[in-house]
Structure 1
């Protein structure tokens, strides 16, 4: 029974099921695109061919082992724990792009600002440390065995990420302040100052952001 299931999964028809509208994953067999379920999936076939032509890359297993813990926690801080701020900034960027306000080059530049590695004060050395391969390697052991250190570092990465994303969004808001606002909101924003105070993070980190129209 198990062998029969494996044979089915690795058959052209079985692989074509990945192309179902509710799944939309790439099959591993080209023959899957000959099946009836692949009709209308020219775009997926194009992507499939791109993966075949892609050049494989080697993974440095040793380097991965000595940075895994720090990278995993960094990833969680700047993507998962900062998700609301990240999506807020990214949505603004995409809206500007599709509205024709910024170019592909400009959206890439904003994305690069968002992705710039975070800088925090290391809780053990009190030195400003940018997330680099060297720093990731140096702190990896502490990120595994020192729970207090790990929690503090991760919290500071999260704070830094939230501030960075909001700063990039604020830059776009200054250039295009009224994009996406309805008429009532626009009138409100023009008639009274807007004030926003955001408190992020722990370990003594407090970030405040404010904006408002100035009186003449």
Structure 2
């Protein structure tokens, strides 16, 4: 019996030794092996839901998605004013995509962008043009690491509905000045131009910034007042687009891809890029510091920036300008000669010198000032402009008198606050820009500006001959 027990014990010990040896000799797991549970990437974006669906379908079918075990992508599209709070509150968003360089520069300044470090993704970024039309396609940090890269390019102009132009007997607009012309005031109070409140649209905000830098701060605001009076504010860029497509207005300011889609879906509409009066933007994609899946997130970024991923923009439901010209050499690209033609027109257009940093310094001030002075008091602004145009057409004002009063209507406001006189100069706007991120301060300033604008408009109504 003792011999039997001893034999059993010996066998158990031997088995343990063998098992231990096997474990010791087992090869280590590969470091890049994806987690057993699938990864769900989270993306904050300004892109349309069509882009969500197309990009998700294409990426999840790719070898990159399989390699990094990405099983789903969840998109969210909050208003750009809520991006900072949304990213910080949720704390696990992986990628920011779309919304323009200014928005991404704000994210970078706030410390929310993570530099790209994945070697394969860096190789793809190196293949991108460094600039298009003078606009940067990659933004680097102080260490020379990319913090965002353009996934697409965009220009800014306006969409014209030629059927409505003909109906109203209006001339074809070619430049920003045409949108603020006397001719476009002939059907007031019916609006001719659709535009969005800058607090709801990053692309329309960019257009206002372009006008301010093209014409100068004072003359730019004067032109914006005339454009605003010739049209009406809408809740967002999509609503403004719908207005021109439906024939509610003859023109809508717009980012280019809205125009290209309109040309396909609504015959009689055309996108116009004002010659030597606009810019090209790189529309970024970036890795967020809050990402819990940085390798997988960079794989998605790599895919979007690759030739294969750039095919997303060729989809006729999307119609956007890829950042990579070589995508037009693919079979899918060769099937879109129309988009290639628009691409070449965009990159060959002579743009204006545009300073991103300068625009960023006054962006919040621009948004709230425009809303308070031109959107909130829109009816009163239209009344002033209508009376002014009528007086000029009836010969009650000389051209010089008309231009002087028109400039006064839109010139940056002056007001007195606590016994101190202020003026909405570019320097003043920059000095309060960061403070306007405080909702209470923004509300206070908007009330001050509304009151000052109302007083100015009422004085102009008295001054203009009836």
TM-score by length of 1: 0.55
Structure 2 unaligned residues grouped into runs of 5+: 1-49, 51-159, 165-246, 278-349
- Aligned residues of 1:18 and 1:25 also touching (Cα < 8 A): yes
Distance 1:69 1:119 in 2: 19
Determine if the alignment matches structure 1 residue 130 to structure 2 residue 435. Answer: no
Q: Which residue of 2 aligns with 1:156?
A: 448
Matches within 5 A, 1:75-94: 75-94=370-389
1:182 aligns with: none
Distance verdict in 2 for CA 1:25–1:171, change over 3 Å:
closer
1:24-173 correspondence to structure 2 within 5 Å: 51-52=274-275, 56-122=351-417, 127-145=420-438, 147-172=439-464
Give, in angstroms, the shift of residue 116 of structure 1. 2.3
- Gap change, CA 1:56 and 1:104, over 3 Å in 2: farther
Between the aligned partners of 1:165 and 1:70, the Cα distance in structure 2 is 21
**Pairwise CA RMSD of aligned residues?**
3.4
Cα 1:170–1:106, aligned 2, differ >3 Å: closer, same or farther? same
Q: Aligned partners of 2:373 and 2:403: how far apart in 1?
A: 18
**Higher helix fraction: Structure 1 or Structure 2?**
1
Compute the displacement of 1:91 (Å).
1.1
In 2, distance between residues paired with 1:122 and 1:60? Answer: 31
SS at match of 1:128: strand
1-structure distance, mates of 2:424, 2:362: 11
Gaps of 5+ in 1: 3-16, 39-43, 180-216
How much has 1:89 moved relative to structure 2?
Answer: 1.0
**Matched position secondary structure for 1:56:** coil
Q: Do the aligned partners of residues 53 and 116 (structure 1) sit closer, same or farther apart at CA in structure 2, a change above 3 Å counting?
A: closer
Classify the secondary structure of the residue corresponding to 2:362.
Answer: helix
On the 8 A contact 1:143/1:149 being kept in 2, the answer is yes
Equivalent pair of 1:119/1:128 in contact (CA under 8 Å): yes
Contact kept, 8 Å, 2:276 with 2:351, in 1: the verdict is no
Q: Deviations for 1:111-157, whole angstroms, at most 9, x for unmatched residues?
A: 1111221123457xx63221011111110111012x22211111010
Q: Tell me, what secondary structure is at the counterpart of 2:434?
A: helix
Distance 2:435 2:276 in 1: 41
How many residues are treated as equivalent by the alignment? 144
Aligned partners of 1:122 and 1:153 also within 8 Å? no
Structure showing greater radius of gyration is 2
Residue by residue over 1:159-214, the C-alpha shift from the partner in whole angstroms, topping out at 9 and shown as x without a partner, is 10111111111012xxx3xx4xxxxxxxxxxxxxxxxxxxxxxxxxxxxxxxxxxx
Bigger proportion of residues as strand: 2
Q: For residue 53 of structure 1, report the CA deviation from its aligned partner.
A: 6.5
8 Å contact 1:120–1:128 — kept in the other structure?
A: yes
User: Would the alpha carbon gap of residues 78 and 18 (structure 1) be closer, same or farther in structure 2, given more than 3 Å must change?
Assistant: closer
